[in-house]
Amino acid sequence: MANIRVKEAAEYLGVSKSFLDKARCYGTNGPAFMRFGKAVVYSTEALDEWARSCTVANDNAAATQAAA
């Protein structure tokens, strides 16, 4: 488990740094983070867990089955 800074965490997830900043600031659906003084770090384990939690089923398949 590695700890990485915000910029690297954004690159790791494929999202913008701004997204992570806003998720932290507003407490919205973002990955768990740690704060050491002013430094913010994310564990790669927490990032992977958050990314898995964002998985959704294919909505088109459900709609096709419902229409049949």
12-60 pLDDT per residue, tens: 999 999 999 999 999 888 999 999 999 999 999 999 999 999 988 776 7
Average pLDDT over residues 1-19: 95
Tell me what pLDDT residue 65 has: 61
Neighbours of 20 (CB within 10 A): 21
* pLDDT of 1 strictly over 90: no
pTM of the predicted model as reported, rounded to 2 decimal places: 0.78
Q: With H, G, I as helix, E, B as strand and everything else as coil, classify residue 38.
A: coil
According to DSSP H, which parts of 1-68 are helical?
A: 6-13, 17-26, 44-53, 59-67
The whole-angstrom separation of Cα 7 and Cα 2 is 14
pLDDT confidence bin for 66, thresholds 50/70/90 = low
